[in-house]
Amino acid sequence: MMLLAGWVCVAGGQPTVYELDGSGWIAAREPEPGSDEAMIAESMRLLAEGKPGAARSLLRPWVKRHRKRGHPLMPQALLALGDAKLMAGNPYQALFDYEDLLTFYAESPEFFDALERELEIGKAYAGGTFTRRFLGILNMGATRELVEELLTRVAMRAPGSDVAERAHLELADYYYRTRDLTFAAEAYELFVTNFPQSRHRAYALQRQILANLGRFKGPRHDASVLVEASGLIDRFRRDYPLQAQEAGLSDALQARIDESLGAQMLEAADWYQRRGDLVAARFQLQRLVVKHPRTVAAARGRELLALRGWEDPSRPAPVEPPAAEVPTAPAEAEPDGDDSAEATP
């Protein structure tokens, strides 16, 4: 996780600063003994030797002394202090120093280094490497809040950049891993919109499809997520035909979605029938056999239309009730739970 911008070695007891240029690491200069630059170089040497505690002890009083007045070396000091805390296993405390750097020294060369550190910390919290605790007790709510805040900030601070792209995708993946499929579907959709040329576009679009499929809870619930998934599958198959075939986004899956949508309409028709609203029940059945004619539900719908005499063409078709009066799911259906209950159409 450590992404140090430079490293320091000791020659004759004097720290020598090394910097990276196009040809590799080069000896830049030897700072004047006792200078602020020498102190920063010494702290970097301690970090390179795996001594974060000593580096932190060296940096903290200097940062505290110069924080209000500012100092040309403050961005380097804040980055090194954050690195010391991070190396010591205190990522949350390290964020305060990185945040100061990102907030007050946005034009410094260290800006993107700090942004990378925050992204890596956010990914570590998202992946479970780090967790937030209160009085020693795991606090998943606080962990989620921190992940969302960190990754969102990273993306907002460098819009359109590679680091923003990675932060956005990591947040979407975090929602998907934790089975918050509503947020996952929205996050993947935003990613595809904001990064249309990304090499991860196909991956994000496929995950958006799977998240929407997982949100469908059965024929007694809202089926709009299936309609959206069906449209996305058509789009994916058009843009990435080979990957669609490998991922199983085929006619067979579309047929399963069609069956689920038909079952949802048949359930709605039955709900109206049981409440005595025959006009709405007939309308739902007629829509079913037209929109999903090859499904098992449509076959049952045709049977019901014939049984009730509703298929007689001499009888006028019922007028569609206003949208507000036609619920997409039965009123007495069980309340939707969270998105963790994944269902397959």
Q: Is residue 100 part of a domain?
A: yes
Return the structure tokens found at 288. 């079913």
> Strand, helix or coil at 30?
coil
Q: Could you tell me what percent of the chain has a pLDDT over 70?
A: 79
Average pLDDT, integer, range 243-271: 86
| Mean pLDDT of all residues in 112-133 | 88
In this prediction, residue 139 carries a pLDDT of: 54
CATH number of 27's domain: 1.25.40
Helices (H), strands (E): how many in the chain? 14, 5
Distance CA 278, CA 319 (A): 12
Where is pLDDT greater, at 344 or 210? 210
**With bands split at pLDDT 50, 70 and 90, how would you rate the model's confidence at 131?**
confident
Say if residue 343's pLDDT is above 80.
no
Identify the domain boundary among 109, 129, 156: 109
pLDDT greater than 80 at residue 72? yes
Specify if 229 maps to a domain: yes
**Do the domain assignments include residue 96?**
yes
When pLDDT is averaged across residues 38-55 and rounded to a whole number, the result is 91
Phi then psi for residue 29, to 5 deg, are -175, 165
The first and second tokens of residue 132, run together, are: 């937030």
Whether residue 172 is predicted with pLDDT greater than 50 in this model: the reply is yes
Identify the weakest region by mean pLDDT among 165-179, 244-258, 287-301, 302-316. Answer: 302-316
Specify whether the CB–CB gap between 184 and 214 falls below 8 A.
no
Q: DSSP class of residue 138?
A: E
What count of residues does the chain have? Answer: 345
Would you say 176 and 207 are in contact if contact means Cβ atoms under 8 Å apart? yes
In a domain, residue 149? The reply is: no
Work out the pLDDT band at 323, boundaries 50, 70, 90.
very low
User: Quick check: 5 pLDDT over 80?
Assistant: no
Residue 276: predicted pLDDT: 87
Residue 52 or residue 252, greater confidence: 52
Give the pLDDT score at 34.
74
pLDDT at 3 over 50: no
Q: Is residue 160 part of a domain?
A: no
* Amino acid 22: pLDDT: 53
Q: Establish if 28 belongs to a structural domain.
A: yes
**What pLDDT was estimated at residue 21?**
54
- Average the pLDDT over 102-107 and give the result: 94
138 or 334: which carries more pLDDT confidence? Answer: 138
Amino acid at 170: E
**Do the domain assignments include residue 33?**
yes
247 within some domain: yes
Instruction: List the single range of 68-72, 160-164, 247-251, 329-333 with lowest mean pLDDT.
Output: 329-333
Question: What are 218-227's pLDDT values in tens digits?
Answer: 777 778 888 8
Structural domain containing residue 324: 216-345
Last-in-domain residue among 61, 87, 109: 109
Q: Would the pLDDT of 181 be above 80?
A: yes
Q: Give the end of a domain, one of 94, 109, 124.
A: 109
Alpha-carbon distances of 278 from 268, 321, 341, rounded to whole Å: 12, 12, 33
Say whether 342 sits in a helix, a strand or coil: coil
Is residue 116 within 8 A of residue 94, CB to CB? The reply is no
pLDDT, the chain, mean? 81
Q: Which H or E run contains 287?
A: helix 278-291
Instruction: Give the H/E segment covering residue 15.
Output: strand 14-21
Distance CA 24, CA 18 (A): 10
Q: How far is CA 8 from the centre of its chain?
A: 38
Residue 321 has pLDDT above 60, yes or no: no
pLDDT tens, position by position, 191-205 = 999 999 999 999 999
What is the Cα gyration radius of the chain?
30
Based on the structure, what is the number of domains in the chain? Answer: 2
CA dist 26 and 47 (Å) reads 19
Residue type, 25: W
